[in-house]
Structure 1
């Protein structure tokens, strides 16, 4: 059964965002996140994965850059209800980081029950079924055995592994993003299981809205990049009025 997050009555606006890919080399994106969190009128912000460019274990949260992000999220969590879903870059985020940042974990997938509708939330990578090599990799790195072996290594060794994985991902990313998308049949089946009509996800970096037939649809979040030219990033806001995409 897919877990359900039921919006409390005081949530009048809910923001969803993903794929910020924060790192020490993205100060513009981090600054834009800080501004957004200070200014949003939403009562809840749901982070749907790949908030970090890479996360190699919760002991890294004490390093200078990571600690600055944790402080920012914690300060925001005192004003907002923040939730976090794992992505394909930050699947090693654990209970210690989430506690320090004041963010409960959202399982992937999760049904959001809000404003009289059911919205299905995923990061998106698990539904990219055509990329068989990635699905095999995902199965391996999400296993408790692999994660225990990696997390037992010294932090410096894990950082080196993270750099290696990131560079390999960047080398293949452009071709993958053009060739791979979420499988429509898998999306329809998941929506049927959830009793929802709209799937919201990130991962592909291709913001759009896709009809899936029979009144079903999927809505894709943008990635964020406020260090390049042109800048890009958006938020999807849910309210009693429906779904709205807000470019930043």
Structure 2
């Protein structure tokens, strides 16, 4: 996926801290992860929280909220938090059907993927990361199809129960494919560098791969991978990447981000 033009996000001058999270995969069957996320959102010391995709384990359409108390609770938290700090959201590969109208109702800003965050003299390229994983050929083919308006309209026109059943089937197939893999796709270095050059940024920040690490791409560019959140299984993992106005950054436990 080549990108000739990268959208820009200008951080207000009064922001001093920005927290970035991704891949929480919130679901009612994993209450510890949900509780950690809810506490973090309500008590973080950051001026803004940027969610780089896969906040939810699955999203089959905004109408699912009407009959799902768990989703209602999650959206209520987002709406409440947006009264005291900025909350920004980027679609992931699990929740790309989350609608703009619903996000606006919660006062959440929807970000295109990718987007360049400008903060004073600093620039960071933000992405969910899935579009960069070119070696995952089967997924890239599916991604190209499911991100079209035609595919989404056809899927959302199906009854809710059928959409939920189809989502379970796709998830089971995905888990089986992952279990059979011996190697996992990482973002393509050449494409990552191309994206960075297009927005004149030196740092790419993304999620998706669930392999938090800092990678040197070349002498002037790096790629920083966000942690997924999984507190209902072992090993447990949850991490926040905090950016500071002076250019510093830290990887924090959610409780540390609230202190």
TM-score w.r.t. structure 1 length? 0.96
Return the offset for 1:200: 0.0
Give per-residue Cα distances to partners, 1:149-181, cap 9 Å, x unaligned.
000111111111111111112222355584211
Return the offset for 1:8: 0.3
**Superposition map of 1:141-152 within 5 A:** 141-152=146-157
Task: Tell me if the contact between 2:13 and 2:120 (Cα under 8 Å) persists in the aligned partners.
Answer: no
Give me the whole-angstrom Cα distance separating, in 1, the residues matched to 2:124 and 2:180. Answer: 30
What secondary structure is seen at the aligned counterpart in 2 of 1:200?
Answer: strand
Give me the whole-angstrom Cα distance separating, in 1, the residues matched to 2:6 and 2:154. Answer: 29
Give me the whole-angstrom Cα distance separating, in 2, the residues matched to 1:69 and 1:177. Answer: 35
Does 2:137 match 1:132? Answer: yes
Match of 2:203 in 1: 198
Task: Tell me if the contact between 1:115 and 1:239 (Cα under 8 Å) persists in the aligned partners.
Answer: no
Q: Report the more deviating stretch, 92-101 or 201-210.
A: 92-101
Does 2:256 match 1:243? Answer: no
Aligned match for 1:102, one of 89, 107, 117:
107
> Unaligned 5+ residue runs, structure 1?
none
Task: Tell me if the contact between 1:177 and 1:204 (Cα under 8 Å) persists in the aligned partners.
Answer: no
> Unaligned 5+ residue runs, structure 2?
255-259
Aligned match for 2:218, one of 207, 213, 217:
213
Give me the whole-angstrom Cα distance separating, in 2, the residues matched to 1:231 and 1:197. Answer: 31
Give me the whole-angstrom Cα distance separating, in 2, the residues matched to 1:177 and 1:218. Answer: 23
Match of 1:183 in 2: 188
**Superposition map of 1:84-103 within 5 A:** 84-103=89-108
Does 2:155 match 1:167? Answer: no
Match of 2:126 in 1: 121
Match of 2:81 in 1: 76
1:177 to 1:59, Cα distance in 2 relative to 1, 3 A: farther
Give me the whole-angstrom Cα distance separating, in 2, the residues matched to 1:66 and 1:32. Answer: 16
Q: Report the more deviating stretch, 46-55 or 114-123.
A: 114-123
Match of 1:8 in 2: 12
**Superposition map of 1:17-32 within 5 A:** 17-32=21-36
Number of aligned residue pairs: give it. 248
Return the offset for 1:233: 0.8
Match of 1:41 in 2: 45
**Superposition map of 1:47-58 within 5 A:** 47-58=51-62
Task: Tell me if the contact between 2:132 and 2:191 (Cα under 8 Å) persists in the aligned partners.
Answer: yes
TM-score w.r.t. structure 2 length? 0.92
Return the offset for 1:210: 0.3
Give me the whole-angstrom Cα distance separating, in 2, the residues matched to 1:233 and 1:102. Answer: 25
